[in-house]
Chains A and B, each alone.
Chain A
Amino acid sequence: MILFRDLNKSFGPKDVLTGFSLEVPDGETTVVIGYSGTGKSVALKHVVGLLQPDSGGVEVDGNVVHDLDRDGLVALRSMIGFVFQFAALFDSMTVRENISLGLKRQEVPEREIELRVQESLALVDMEGTEDRYPIELSGGMRKRVGIARAIALKPKYILYDEPTSGLDPVTAAVINQLMVRAREKLGVTGLVVTHDMNSAFTVGDRIAMLYRGSIRQVGSVEQIQRTHDPVVRQFIEGRPEAAADAEGLVTQVVS
């Protein structure tokens, strides 16, 4: 289980997360929704120790991430797959090398590595692209390779940072399908951050809305769809006054 416990994080004068608490139960996919620039990526990066909290923290299976020593952090990272917003594939490496890199670090034997590369590429329907370079792939294909790179580690958790943003609707639907597949076939616990409501409703078991530094509401997909909370309603319905609020121009909530 991933547990955010009263997480606070500022960059300079800018308070990004203020008392962010959330529980991510095993075996489910939890989706965090929220406006751009509210700190969704920042929250996600705390889970793998890419960022240090100012106070509070994240626990993964009972271990406090920012208290882990080097070896502890290596162990933690090898059970968490991270899918980056723009895939973050290594430009200088082929698809195969991209997927193998994490496995080499875990000292998986050479033959097993090739097997896992094939397996994970098959799972994202990208067979036959092993020798291509990221630059030769479309945005959607890169995302799929990014997912394959995470899956290949056989992680217990996968964190997805805006998996569908910037993709056309059909490609986005394919990515959604892959995330559902990862949970069903591999039993991975998912934590997805997104502002794509369609994606949130498709892949999520539970949805939480991040608003002004902390979780505004959390519930099942159904609960969120029927919410009476005006802020959450605005966001999921994409009403224009919500945009003004997102810019911080409207301080009072319009219901």
Chain B
Amino acid sequence: MRRIGVQSLPIALFIAVFTGIVLALLSSYTLTGAVPLYFVGTLVGKAVMIELVPVMTGLALSGRVGANIAAELGTMRVTEQVEALETLAYDPHSYLVVPRIIAATLMFPVVVALAEVTGLLSGWITAINLLDMSTVEFVKGLRLFYEFKDIWFGLVKSMSFGLAIALIGCMKGLSASGGAEGVGRTAMEAVVLGAQMILVLDAFWAVALL
């Protein structure tokens, strides 16, 4: 739980800071003249909460968390630790898989929520420093088309990402074979499949809920 949550925070926040900056600059560039500048706030807000931060964080964590789970369980598999658990009358699924899935499903939205706040802050700071906007304008834009759905949509999405990444990591890890090389291959496959799954889920949620 701690490893999935706390240790993933730096990379998630790092992504969020730069996403916020780029979004603010990009939207001001796009809106030049024709549309009032406070729409920068709107675009930053929507993009950060609904799409970019959840997905980019998900992709980064697919690398971190997915690879970590797959490598850990893969190592346990090829060194017979999984079988050792079974001979001690434990069920490897409930003992190894369930806690990881619960941790990832619960921690992903928390990490993403913090990243979203960070993304908004960095967008706001960029806007008032580099774009000559005032805080009032930024917040006005932010609230313009705001719906509560913007928040929970991103968080529900990230829950599904966490679930998918942990599930894939566990499945891949437990079916590892072929020594250290096999474990490396397993981790790689988990990351690739996890990233693909995130993009598919992202599209699915867009179709289902937007």
Roughly how many angstroms separate A78 CA and B83 CA in the complex, as a whole number?
14
Tell me if A48 counts as interface (CB < 8 A to partner B): yes
Which residues of B sit under 8 angstroms from A101, Cβ to Cβ? 85, 88, 90
B83 touches A45 (CB 8 A): yes
Tell me if A91 counts as interface (CB < 8 A to partner B): yes
A105 touches B90 (CB 8 A): yes
Tell me if B35 counts as interface (CB < 8 A to partner A): no
Residues of A111-127 contacting chain B, CB below 8 A: none
Cross-chain contact of B89 among A50, A74, A91 (Cβ < 8 A): A74
B contact patch SS: helix
Residues of B54-108 contacting chain A, CB below 8 A: 75-76, 79-81, 83-90
B83 touches A77 (CB 8 A): no
A102 touches B89 (CB 8 A): yes
Chain A interface residue count: which class? 20 to 34
A85 touches B80 (CB 8 A): yes
Minimum Cβ distance to chain A for residue B96 (Å):
11
B83 touches A90 (CB 8 A): no
Most buried by B among A73, A80, A82, A153: A82
Residues of B32-55 contacting chain A, CB below 8 A: none
Tell me if A201 counts as interface (CB < 8 A to partner B): no
Roughly how many angstroms separate A50 CA and B80 CA in the complex, as a whole number?
11
Tell me if A133 counts as interface (CB < 8 A to partner B): no
B89 touches A82 (CB 8 A): no
Q: Name the residue on A nearest B86 (C-beta).
A: A50
Tell me if A177 counts as interface (CB < 8 A to partner B): no
B83 touches A50 (CB 8 A): yes
B88 touches A84 (CB 8 A): no
Q: Name the residue on A nearest B82 (C-beta).
A: A88
Roughly how many angstroms separate A226 CA and B77 CA in the complex, as a whole number?
41
Roughly how many angstroms separate A102 CA and B87 CA in the complex, as a whole number?
9
Q: A48-B86, A77-B87 are in contact. List 12 more A-B contacts (CB 8 A).
A: A45-B83, A48-B87, A50-B86, A50-B87, A82-B84, A84-B80, A84-B83, A89-B81, A90-B81, A105-B88, A105-B89, A153-B88
14 contacts between A and B (CB under 8 A): A50-B86, A77-B88, A80-B87, A82-B84, A85-B80, A88-B81, A89-B81, A90-B84, A91-B75, A101-B90, A105-B88, A105-B89, A105-B90, A149-B88
